[in-house]
Amino acid sequence: MADDALLDKVHALSDLELALLLCLISREHCLVSTPSEVIEDLLQELQLVATKTFGLSWVVIDCSPSTTLEDFAAALLIPHQQPSPHSRSDSPFRRNRADSYFVSRPSSNPSAPLSPPIPGPSSSQIANVIFAKNLDRAPQAVQIQALELLRTRRIFTRTSVQTAPKQFVFIPVLEAASGGEAHVTAHLNDFLYIAYWHNPDDGFVNLDEHDVGDGADTASTGSVVKRGTGDDASASSPLILETEISHLGTLSQQAQVDIDVVRYQMNIITFLRMHRAVASGITPTATKHFAQLMRCLAPLHRSDYVTPALVGLAARKVYLHRIHLTPPEKERSMQWGSRVEAVEALLEDIGPEDIVEDVLGMVTAPL
């Protein structure tokens, strides 16, 4: 079990920090979304999380329908020496310390010219964290290139092959009215480990603590690519060290799962697949990520085994972005004479969040 000092630090993290921590532990990637009016604040919060909490370098790529494969490859790279991020953007939202997202139930200018030609491998490298703003708007070829980067952990530029660092997380940051509305292209979407929708009412913890900053340190909103390094943090070390992340990863692999808990997990998957509102999304990759997240959550909750509560918590994070809704005219009861108007009324206002909660309410948890 992790020592109390480390777990105390983990339990003090915000939801965004916990989402990034889970990705670093599992060496996976996540999708983050929020309403359009606060996406810039969310990006600045994520930059501060990467720098201050984990001491990682980062890049923000502002995607658009005109983004090319060459643009995307160039934007991933970061020079070894780069100025620091952030000044606080004006926002009416402040953090309300509600229940933690991972501890309890969840209650630019795209047309601007891109950066200079790609530097050689001697002067640049792929950043630890890639924030792909509005990746869903990029051409499908660019999104498939992102998937190839995640699968192989390398990308080809004009002059070299660049390899992703050991600590590497790719995060599409999308505009969405709810978590279930945020998607990228199908295969990339399924490859993403978890999803998190940030409620603006929850505020931005690190930005609240970083109200005053040097305006020159923040890249212009007209810039398509913004970059920062782990050295941009204060002189003190990051809150969560790489060795601590590795230790949590080892503990997650050692977490025990009782056969009754496995049966509960599989029942949830079966009920999701059979739910009348689900068109697709319950894939083998999702099942693998489901089992992985269950184990990752155990050491964070001071446990060396997976409980039914952790199974339900993992389901909410793994399937949020994966579930696609059935069109009323294709709902299975239409094969037996149901009226489309009645099916539309039944499925009205049902989202992925509601489907997961419905299934968790139907499947009996082991005692």
Residue 247 in any domain: the answer is: no
- Claim to verify: residue 59 and residue 124 sit in the same structural domain: yes
Phi, psi of 192 (to 5 degrees): -75, 135
61 within domain boundaries = yes
pLDDT at 223: 56
Residue 249 forms part of a structural domain: no
Q: What is the CATH number of the domain that holds 296?
A: 1.10.8.80
Greater model confidence, 79 or 299: 299
* pLDDT reading at 21 higher than 80: yes
Return the closest-CA partner of residue 247 out of 14, 5, 19.
Answer: 5
218 and 320 belong to one structural domain: no
Do 97 and 169 lie in one domain? The reply is: yes
Distance CA 51, CA 44 (A): 11
User: Quick one: 103 and 216 in the same domain?
Assistant: yes
* Residue 155 φ/ψ, nearest 5 degrees: -145, 145
Residue ending a domain, choose from 232, 267, 294: 232
Residue 32 CB contacts under 8 Å (≥ 6 apart), including other chains:
16, 19, 42, 46, 171, 172, 173, 174, 195, 196, 197, 198
Q: Both 228 and 259 in a single domain? A: no
Query: Same structural domain for residues 209 and 335?
Result: no
Q: What is the rounded distance in angstroms from the CA atom of residue 354 to the CA atom of residue 320?
A: 10
Phi, psi values for residue 198, rounded to 5°: -95, 120
Are 100 and 221 part of one and the same domain? yes
- The band of 228, judged by pLDDT with boundaries at 50, 70 and 90, is confident
Count of domains forming the chain: 2
What is the percentage of the chain residues whose pLDDT exceeds 90?
Answer: 65
Look at residue 360 and tell me whether its pLDDT is greater than 80: yes
99 and 205 in a single domain? The answer is: yes
The DSSP bridge partners found for residue 156 are 161
Helical H segments across the chain, by residue range:
4-11, 15-26, 39-48, 69-75, 140-152, 186-191, 205-208, 242-254, 259-274, 284-300, 308-318, 340-347, 352-362
Residues 226 and 266 in one domain: no
Is 119 within the bounds of a domain?
Answer: yes
Q: What CATH number corresponds to the domain at position 211?
A: 3.40.50.300
Rg (CA), the chain: 21
Residue 212 inside a domain? The answer is yes
Same domain, 121 and 268: no
pLDDT value, residue 227: 76
**Domain match, 206 and 150 both:** yes
Sheet of strand 169-175: strand arrangement:
194-197, 30-34, 169-175, 129-133, 58-62, 225-228
Domain containing residue 287: 255-362
Q: Please tell me the distance from the alpha carbon of residue 242 to that of residue 25, in angstroms, as a whole number.
A: 10
Lowest mean pLDDT among 90-94, 149-153, 230-234, 281-285: 90-94
pLDDT of residue 267: 97
**In which band, very low, low, confident or very high, does the pLDDT at 118 lie, cut at 50, 70 and 90?**
very low
Does 244 fall in a domain? no
Residue carrying structure tokens 């603590």: 209
Mark whether 134 and 202 lie in a shared domain: yes
Q: What band does 156 get if pLDDT is binned at 50, 70 and 90?
A: confident
Q: Is residue 215 part of a domain?
A: yes
Model's pTM, two decimal places? 0.83
- Does some domain include residue 248? no
Contact 34, 176 (CB under 8 A): yes
Q: What is the pLDDT of residue 357?
A: 95
Q: For residue 28, how many other CB atoms are within 10 A of its CB? A: 19
How many angstroms separate the CA atoms of 58 and 274, rounded? 40
Domain boundary, last residue among 232, 263, 286: 232
